[in-house]
A and B are shown apart, each in its own frame.
Chain A
Amino acid sequence: MKKIVKRYRYFIAAIAAMLVFTIVNKELGLKALSISGHQIKEMLFIIPPIFVMLGLLDVWVPRETMVRFMGEGSGIKGILLAIFIGSAAAGPLYGAFPVAAVFMKKGAKFSNILIFIGAWSTTKIPMFLFEIGSLGAKFAVTRLLIDIPGIILIAFIISKFLSKKEIDKIYENAKTLD
């Protein structure tokens, strides 16, 4: 019980803050709560298949396969695969982090994991189609064409700024996260 309270302490604090906010401004507070409720429903709807596939990936894909396709020395193939998997995803960016942790455990290269995160954040295919519908093809296509080199560049910059030791620490940490 104590452990649960400790793990959820920020959530409990946020709920309390929300209730105070609702008392201060009933209209906005209720609106915020109803939006949050809607978001939770959406999350519970979108997220289960992602986590089921993540579990299957963890159990079935051998480390050697992951290293061969996305590990050190996977080159262009690893980059393209990272972009493809990230772009084919669905759901908010925070859903990508647990998947990234499994990739790390299986020995994918750090820059490829960052490319995957970048692709998930901004070149998702369903979102791209939606963007065309809302903001026009010229806007969406231009953004996509800038984004693809952009996320690769960002991934390499971040990799360069981190020492081998710092990256190893992130990989060690990923092992404890499941």
Chain B
Amino acid sequence: MDSVIFYSLASILLLLSFLKDRKKTKMALKKAWKAFENILPEFLVVILMVGFMLSVLNADTISGIIGAESGWFGVILASVIGSVTLIPGFVAFPTAALLLKNGAGYMQIAAFVSTLMMVGVVTMPVEIKYFGKKATLLRNAAAFVFSFIVALIIGMVVK
């Protein structure tokens, strides 16, 4: 659904740009291609790793580890799993819902979802290419710690 919006928006902007200045538009497309080609090798590695991970991990294995009774230890484990896995959102939320149904707790799920989205161990090579080692490590570490706060608050609010 949102890809329809994005394609329409990009097409309209591209058309406007083309009507205004052909040369600039050509340059924009060249830059777009270069920016894409620039990270393609890292993209491809990341995608293979995702494939590997999703083939090994499934909802049963994960929910066995992070049950509602698992407490803070479960939250830590959930954060670690969330950090090292890279699952696209449209798979992640149904997976999280399934984990809940299979007995995972809200606190653990909050930690899992939060680290899943904010911490990316697998994508670090891509991030380092743009932000350098220090900023990348800082961002991921801060997001990891932050996810515990999210887990704590969600654990209090959602029962």
Contacts and interface: CB of A to CB of B under 8 A. Distances in A.
Contacts of B118: 118, 121-122
Interface in B90-146: 90, 93-94, 96-97, 100, 106, 109-110, 113-114, 117-118, 120, 123, 125-127, 129-132, 134-135, 138-139, 142-143, 146
- For this complex, into which size category does the number of interface residues on chain A fall? 35 or more
A93 B131 CA distance: 14
Nearest to A122: B117
B38 A59 contact: no
Given A122-B117, A134-B96, A49 B6 contact: yes
Interface residues of B, number: 78
Q: Which of A15, A42, A52, A93 has the most CB of B within 10 A?
A: A52
A1 to B, nearest CB: 15
Given A121-B118, A122-B118, A130-B93, A53 B13 contact: yes
A32 interface: yes
Interface in B60-89: 86, 88-89
A169 B93 contact: no
Nearest to B146: A150
Given A18-B48, A90-B3, A150-B149, A100 B32 contact: no
Contacts, number: 232
Interface of B: 1-3, 6-7, 9-11, 13-14, 17, 24-25, 27-36, 38-39, 41-52, 54-56, 86, 88-90, 93-94, 96-97, 100, 106, 109-110, 113-114, 117-118, 120, 123, 125-127, 129-132, 134-135, 138-139, 142-143, 146, 149-150, 153-154, 157-158
20 contacts: A10-B125, A14-B44, A32-B48, A32-B56, A52-B14, A52-B29, A55-B30, A56-B17, A56-B28, A56-B32, A59-B24, A93-B120, A94-B39, A94-B46, A117-B139, A121-B143, A133-B93, A135-B109, A143-B114, A170-B131
Given A28-B56, A146-B153, A166-B134, 6 more contacts: A39-B88, A46-B3, A54-B32, A133-B93, A153-B146, A158-B135
